[in-house]
A and B are shown apart, each in its own frame.
Chain A
């Protein structure tokens, strides 16, 4: 479960202070698939970065599974990200010199798993997104959709508590985007908590819950039953 209380984030640029998040109260129970949607500059990505501990809020609290992240050291936040979170970025964010298998295995190795176990888990994760035949390909040898599926494999291989996705379909064609959303839905069905930021209404509506953000505040919060 992840909860934010009066979450604020502002940026200082010289004398000008821009408040991007203006006191957001938000709660995501375990197993929920949430889409955060909003126009450009609404603060949706900033909100995701706060929740996923990639950035530190200016004010308010983020509580994850009972842990107040405000009191955590940088190292503790890093370990938290490694062990509990999974990330899917807009531009796949795969290391170009690592094969698909190595990219997925890397966080597992960092968790201290043996090479054999890490590779076995990574293979399983890649097979779950139909990339069992692309294990030893470098990112440059994969299509955009395939790279994003490798990125999802990396995010889920260590069975994270929460999967964060920042515009996962933004760089993909319709067919690939549909495949990614289908994977998310499948993961959600298996009990995975997913928080996805997107600007594409069509895909946002596929989530169980749709949160619309505008001007740093939640404009609407709708739950769908599918």
Chain B
């Protein structure tokens, strides 16, 4: 180890060990706050969107979604595709869905001819309740009534966004059903066919694809749309433990599923605007964090500058008795690194030991998502590096400024 580094370390350790506890605590406190500002701010911003993405993945697409091609009405040859999916060891569970655009109507018996019909446009979905729940677990989102069972005929579970009491938003062209609760009879119209069903449950979710749907048992849906060939519109697949969604997608594409259906991972299926928002939030987070980093650097600069200027006489004496100025500079660098590392270590413990688990257990309740804290370890460590580097620079500059002053002037306190 070079002598200057050795002496610098010797001086730094003693300066830190015998420094005022309050000053050390204050500097480390600033470092922790800066670290949190660097990691948590952008992490929460990105977490808003990540929460939405996670919810879409959990409740709608699962890991891989197979869906109708844009120019087709359904997935052709669905029974064979379902059989293929069932046979793949990468698949843990799947759910096949029928999907049609339709209209729901309530209070049609009591409505006078002059009244506006109480209707809402909805995507009507036919599901196998057990299989659907095993993949998406949407029954956990029920806020009223019960979820469907296989024998439920003329029963429907309605998404919250289709009901005025759960989505009281007046948007031109968008209507919701009024006065509908569990047990209410409503009419579902799919093309030319209309059927009266009873609301069995109401499902609340922040995922549009879930909350704006009405769910029927698949056998009833088939009879409604008159499709008896087993061709479905969506298949959501949950991969087995340790399997990469992209690997399953590729396996399906390799077996020709892509010729009759869109095969996408949950990431592929994300709308582009969502990706754009994430990158924008990342940028915003980085911008805000940079301000924090500059503030922390200035704080360290001021602390080290005041420290060095009040110790200018001692620095002069050190140089006077033959201690190399570089060793003194190194001692200030070590002290700055210490503050940055301890601050970051405590910040890391706080983020991964408390904040991330807390956000996961109690996400922030945003209207469109359950916000979590996104803090990928690699990115976090990069930010630790950034904090250390900026702190080292902020610590080195004032030390260098004081050390380069004339030795005798420093000893005598002359300017």
Contacts and interface: CB of A to CB of B under 8 A. Distances in A.
Interface of A: 49, 54-55, 78-83, 85, 87, 89, 93, 95-98, 102, 106-107, 109-110, 112, 138, 154
The 8 closest A-B pairs by CB, nearest first: A82-B322, A97-B18, A93-B317, A81-B322, A55-B408, A54-B408, A97-B14, A97-B15
A107 B18 contact: no
Contacts of B18: 96-97, 138
A10 B408 CA distance: 15
Contact of B322 (A83, A89, A93, A138): A83
B19 A110 contact: no
A89 B411 CA distance: 10
A56 to B, nearest CB: 9
A95 B7 contact: no
Contacts of A83: 322
B327 interface: yes
Contacts of A54: 320, 407-408, 411
A83 B314 CA distance: 19
Interface in B310-355: 313-314, 317-324, 327
Nearest to B4: A110
Contacts of B10: 102, 106, 109
Nearest to B15: A97
Given A54-B411, A79-B322, A89 B7 contact: no
Given A97-B15, A110-B327, A49 B408 contact: yes
A102 B320 CA distance: 17
A98 B407 CA distance: 21
Nearest to A92: B317
Given A80-B322, A95-B314, A110-B323, 16 more contacts: A54-B407, A78-B319, A78-B322, A79-B322, A93-B313, A93-B411, A95-B318, A97-B17, A97-B18, A106-B7, A109-B6, A110-B3, A110-B324, A110-B327, A112-B3, A154-B321
Contacts of A154: 321
Nearest to B325: A78
Q: In the complex, which of the residues A78, A85, A102, A110 has the most CB atoms of chain B within 10 Å of its own CB atom?
A: A110
A110 B7 CA distance: 7
A80 B319 CA distance: 12
Contact of A81 (B11, B320, B327): B320
Contacts of B411: 54, 89, 93
A14 to B, nearest CB: 14
B23 to A, nearest CB: 12
19 contacts: A49-B408, A54-B408, A78-B319, A78-B324, A81-B322, A87-B321, A89-B317, A95-B11, A95-B314, A95-B318, A97-B17, A97-B18, A106-B318, A106-B321, A107-B322, A110-B7, A110-B323, A110-B327, A154-B321
Interface string B1-44: 00100110011001101110000000000000000000000000
A110 B5 CA distance: 10
Contacts of B407: 54
A112 B10 CA distance: 13
A217 to B, nearest CB: 22
Contacts of B14: 97-98, 102
B3 A87 contact: no
Interface string B125-147: 00000000000000000000000
Contacts of A49: 408
A110 B321 CA distance: 10
Nearest to A102: B14
B323 A106 contact: yes
A82 B323 contact: yes
B314 A93 contact: yes
A46 to B, nearest CB: 10
A112 B407 CA distance: 22
Nearest to A75: B324
B323 A107 contact: yes
Given A55-B408, A89-B411, A81 B321 contact: yes
Interface string B382-415: 0000000000000000000000000110010000
Contact of B321 (A82, A96, A98, A138): A82
B7 to A, nearest CB: 6
Contacts of B3: 110, 112
Contacts of B321: 81-82, 87, 106-107, 154
Contacts of B408: 49, 54-55
Contacts of B318: 95, 106
Given A54-B407, A93-B314, A95-B314, A87 B323 contact: no
Nearest to A84: B322
Interface in B257-306: none
Contacts of A80: 322
A9 to B, nearest CB: 11
A86 to B, nearest CB: 8
A163 to B, nearest CB: 12
Contacts of B320: 54, 81, 87, 93
B319 to A, nearest CB: 7
A138 B15 CA distance: 12
Q: In the complex, which of the residues A49, A138, A154 has the most CB atoms of chain B within 10 Å of its own CB atom?
A: A49
Interface string B143-169: 000000000000000000000000000
A112 B5 CA distance: 12
Nearest to A112: B3
Nearest to B10: A109
Contacts of B7: 106, 109-110
A79 B317 CA distance: 14
Contacts of A96: 18, 314
A171 to B, nearest CB: 15
A89 B407 CA distance: 14
